[in-house]
Amino acid sequence: MLKLHLKKRLHARSGEMLLDVHIELERGLFACLYGKSGVGKTSVLRMLAGLMQPDAGYIEVGGEVWLDTRKGKVLRPQKRRLGFVFQDYALFPHMSVRENLHFALKSGQDKNTIEELMDIVGLSELRDQKPGRLSGGQKQRLALARALVQRPPLLLLDEPLSALDYEMRLKLQQYILQLHREYDLTTILVSHDLLEVFRMAERVFLMNDGKITTSGHPQKVLSKQMKAYLQGINI
């Protein structure tokens, strides 16, 4: 079970915005934060990962408290068991595929994990190539694999497929779902791609102006948006 309640004043395009979100998510679910740009989706992920500090908040993952501002408890990002995949891949350009994965290993961890992940994401034959020689899809698969080297229970995805073409997005959506199942992950995806949410998410949190306005299964929460999409209308 993941529980979080976060508050933070942010500077949005329309001015100052109070982000105030409360989320409870069962273990093993694939969830999505959906909404227009600037509503606070990425900020929620960054605070969950410890890369941004809330003004006030509480985070509990699997019974372990990561953050409790009332008690002054803040777990460092390095201590939070999660994988984070960014839009820009964040790979080490001077390291090969294998070296990028090896860098993420914990001391004493089984090195066979690297071989297993390279095989799952289809990069075994490119193990000695550096990121500059990889396609966008291959870089994203490497970023996914690196996020999972330490076998974290929680995977955070910040619009990881937004820069890819349609066919590659479809392929990588399947890779992500495969990894989600095989590694028994709780996954949170940030997206404003309606079709992506419907294909992948079991639960969606609809965000607007720093708040979660509703949550539930995509077909229930986003039926109005999907109807408009199919009619060629932007709302």
Residue 234, pLDDT score: 56
What CATH architecture is 2-81+154-230?
Answer: 3-Layer(aba) Sandwich (3.40)
Task: Return all residues near 233 (Cβ < 8 A) that are at least 6 apart.
Answer: none
pTM of structure: 0.91
Residue 233, pLDDT score: 59
SS3 content of the chain, % helix, strand, coil (to 5): 35, 30, 35
Residue 89, pLDDT score: 75
Spell out the domain ranges in the chain.
2-81+154-230, 91-151
Split the chain (235 residues) into runs of 10 and give each run's mean pLDDT: 95 85 96 92 96 96 96 94 86 93 86 89 93 91 91 92 84 90 94 90 94 93 82 63
Residue 37, pLDDT score: 87
Q: Which of 158, 167, 126, 122 has its CA nearest to residue 141?
A: 122
Angle at 232 between CA 226 and CA 233, to 5 degrees: 75
